[in-house]
Structure 1
């Protein structure tokens, strides 16, 4: 499942970079301009994308399994995509902004679970065994 987080992060980073290229054109003299909310959402989406990649690698160093691991992974993926989408939808459907706290809570719960998994993991979890020379 940590592969899911890493893939989500890399796909989102690709989209975020394309979004950035569109923004560069939009704010250029030839472009149509942009509402300020799209610039902020772009930055937050990029930060969440990087955090997804890092968390995807970090979760391997925890002792999380089963439901806790699933909630950590899928809670993050849901929040990573739906929080920026909700902020952008504020322009079209303002009532959707009420769900932003739900997606923020999803991200917070995910990070709290990964923090707990990190705190409670032994130093041996996630380590690659080192080869010992033959005698």
Structure 2
């Protein structure tokens, strides 16, 4: 499942970069970028970076089984749902979809609360924060 998080993160960054280039074309043509496009772009970028981080944090904190699946599915749904609803609702005039933003935001919050629980209840050395036998070289 962490492959899904990492893959979704990198795909999200690629989509975010493509949207950024589109925004550049709009600006270069002398027009302002619509605020809804900027908001979706920013949210997708941040959430995609966090998806990649989550791809490493989930196994590092020992999240397994159905909880691991729940964290992954909830996070990916929120990662794409939040910017998607901004683009669809505001950008394409499908404003009746806007209330689903609470669903996508809630999915992200639940995912983060599960990770919070694992981070504070797991072993102190979970996540690689403890001492190591590795000695860095003198460069």
Q: Is TM (by shorter chain) over 0.5?
A: yes
**Partners of 1:11 and 1:97 in 2: CA distance:** 24
Q: Distance in 2 between matches of 1:102 and 1:117?
A: 23
* Structure 1 residue 31, shift from structure 2 partner: 5.1
1:32: how far off?
4.8
Contact 1:61 1:118 in 2 (8 A): no
Structure 1 residue 44, shift from structure 2 partner: 1.0
Partners of 2:125 and 2:7 in 1: CA distance: 26
CA offset at residue 18 of structure 1?
1.1
Asked whether 1:34 is paired with 2:62, we answer: no
Note the aligned Cα RMSD (angstroms). Answer: 1.9
Deviations 1:79-101 (Å, cap 9, x if unpaired)?
A: 10011111111232101001000
For residues 9 and 118 of structure 1, what CA distance do their matches in structure 2 show?
21
Which residue does 2:17 correspond to in 1?
A: 17
8 A Cα contact 2:57 2:127, kept in partner: no
- Name the counterpart of 2:112: 111
**2:137 corresponds to:** none
Aligned length: 129
Distance 1:48 1:84 in 2: 9
List aligned pairs for 1:90-109, cutoff 5 A: 90-91=89-90, 92-109=93-110
C-alpha distance in structure 2 between counterparts of 1:97 and 1:85, whole Å: 10
Deviation at 1:124? 4.9
